[in-house]
Copies of this chain bind each other. A is one copy, B any other.
Amino acid sequence: MTAAEKHQVSRKSARPPRGGSRLNGRAGIRDVAAAAGVSITTVSDALNGKGRLPDATRRHVREVAERLGYRPSAAARTLRTGKSGLIGLTVTTYGEEPFTFTEFAYFAEMARAATSAALARGYALVILPAPARHSPFDVWSNVALDGTVVIDPSDQDPVVSELVRSGLPVVSDGRPSGSLPVTAWVDNDHEEAVTGLLDHLAESGARRIGLLTGTSTDTYTRLSTTAYLEWCERVGQDPVYETYPAHDPCAGAIAADRLLARPDRPDAVYGLFDPNGTDLLAAARRYGLRVPEDLLLVCCSESTVYATTEPPITTLSLKPGRIGNTVIQLLIDTIEGIGPTRPVQQVMPTDLIVRTSSQRRGTRTTVSAPRAPASD
């Protein structure tokens, strides 16, 4: 027996004509082809709407496929085409838990919008952990992704650099801190937002506006704080602020207290983080300060609870839904090679939701949209 003969044996005779549905009982494309009396190409084309088949054939094939309960193998398609239709979604974690992502209203809403937008374009989102320190499995390398969304990438995030290096498009929510080479990013116009909100407080009669900010160096904190300091300089007010580690909820309450205990107590405060509203309200109560009579309050939050606090608190909304949607459009455009028609950096406006806590005189209920979006 020659090598060639042996080859032929193993290739031809030793194998049944392959109708034997290896798919664990389920029908494969070959079964459909056989049952419909056509070739597998025709089946593939008919089902994918490709090629120039007569409508009759197409219908027939689809019918047979349906009858056999045929489900194309996503794995095979992915391997062949190189596209999985899957987009990773990851959030930098602050604590122990791999997932804080539904805990904050911002992330929850952002994720919801992103999921929705992705599905509308035929992609699904896979929730993945941030750089896992002790992860027993490397889930990242076990899933075929077409691209990734990173929320709040930390400085020099190893996952991001790794992904980008392997040629995967990465779009971040929040501008990357260091020189992370993300494909694109989307972020709010934080300077504009803070400036607008401080103006609003000043218009409401605030003379000395305080700030409750974080100790970390992420861009959100940095940009917001800088904007505050610049605003103070411009209007000639001495900055009054307290900082605390934003991830520690107790520290926030203490910092709020510190801020109101100062000799140069502010008559208005802006809190950068979600819980600051309630913390400041509690602190104000302790010091016998009435809101908004003695103290004006604004905080950055997506939470609806501030609509029903006593009094309702004015909030700055970062519009996470809009951001989630934009991030996904940008990412999918990149994946499909449509971009970059859009800019690689996109700055989105915020919404100031004015409630009782920031209105000392009159009852104007203005909603400022500091700047029109770059597009969209």
Cβ < 8 Å to B, chain A residues 93-127: 97-99, 101-103, 108-109, 111-112, 115-116, 119-127
Q: By the criterion CB–CB under 8 Å, are A115 and B99 in contact?
A: yes
Cα–Cα, bound, A128→B124 (Å): 7
Binary contact readout A125-139 vs B (1 if CB under 8 angstroms, 0 otherwise): 111110010011101
Minimum CB–CB distance for A240 against chain B, Å:
27
Q: Mark A1-25, 1 if CB is under 8 A from B, else 0.
A: 0111101100100000000000011
- Complex: chain B residue closest to A6, CB-CB: B4
- Residue A338, interface by CB 8 Å: no
Residues of B within 8 A of A136 (CB): 120, 122
Specify which chain B residues have a CB less than 8 angstroms from the CB of A99 in the assembled complex.
112, 115-116
Q: Are A166 and B85 in contact (CB under 8 A)?
A: no
Task: Report A76 CB to chain B, min CB distance, Å.
Answer: 5
- Contacting residue for A167 out of B24, B73, B124, B128, CB 8 A: B24
- Docked Cα-Cα span, A82 to B23, in Å, equals 9
Q: Does A84 contact B (CB under 8 A)?
A: yes
Point out the residues of chain B lying under 8 angstroms from A121, CB to CB. Answer: 137
Contacts of A112 in B (CB 8 A): 99, 101-103
A141 touches B72 (CB 8 A): yes
Q: In the assembly, how many copies of this chain are there?
A: 2
In the docked arrangement, what's the CA distance between A309 and B3, Å?
83
Whole-angstrom distance between the alpha carbons of A5 and B74 in the complex?
35
- Return A137 CB to nearest CB of chain B, in Å: 3
Count contacts on A: residues with CB < 8 A to the other chain.
64
Q: Name the B residues within 8 Å of A126 (CB-CB).
A: 86, 124-127
Contact, CB under 8 Å: A102 / B98: no
> B98 and A119: CB pair below 8 A?
yes
Q: Is the CB of A116 within 8 A of B97?
A: yes
Q: Which chain B residue has the least Cβ–Cβ distance from A101? A: B112
A223 at the interface (CB under 8 A from B): no
**Residue in B closest to A166 when the chains form the complex, CB atoms:** B71
Q: Is A53 an interface residue when CB atoms closer than 8 A count as contact?
A: no
Q: Provide the bound-state CA to CA distance between A107 and B78, in Å.
A: 31
Q: Knowing A4-B4, A116-B97 touch, does A308 contact B278 (C-beta < 8 A)?
A: yes
Say whether A34 faces chain B, with CB atoms less than 8 Å apart: no
- With A7-B4, A78-B75, A278-B308 as known contacts, state yes or no: A124 contacts B144, CB within 8 Å: no
* Measured CA separation A233–B101 after assembly (Å): 45
Which listed residue, B3, B75, B129, touches A75 by the CB 8 Å rule? B75
Chain B contacts for A119, CB-based, 8 A: 98, 128-129, 132, 135, 137, 139
In the bound complex, how far is the Cα of B325 from the Cα of A97, in angstroms?
14
A108 to B86, alpha carbons, bound, how many Å? 21
Q: Is A305 interfacial (CB-CB < 8 Å)?
A: yes
**CA A145 to CA B310, docked complex, whole Å:** 48
Asked if A361 is at the interface (CB within 8 A of a chain B CB), the reply is no
A142 to B118, CA, bound (A): 13
**Which positions in A face B, CB cutoff 8 Å?**
2-5, 7-8, 11, 24-26, 69, 71-79, 82, 84-86, 97-99, 101-103, 108-109, 111-112, 115-116, 119-129, 132, 135-137, 139, 141-144, 165-167, 278, 305, 308-310
A-B contact pairs, 27 of them (CB 8 A): A2-B4, A4-B4, A7-B7, A24-B167, A26-B166, A69-B166, A71-B166, A73-B79, A74-B84, A75-B75, A75-B79, A76-B79, A85-B143, A86-B143, A98-B116, A101-B112, A102-B108, A108-B108, A115-B127, A119-B128, A119-B129, A122-B142, A123-B139, A124-B126, A125-B126, A126-B127, A278-B308
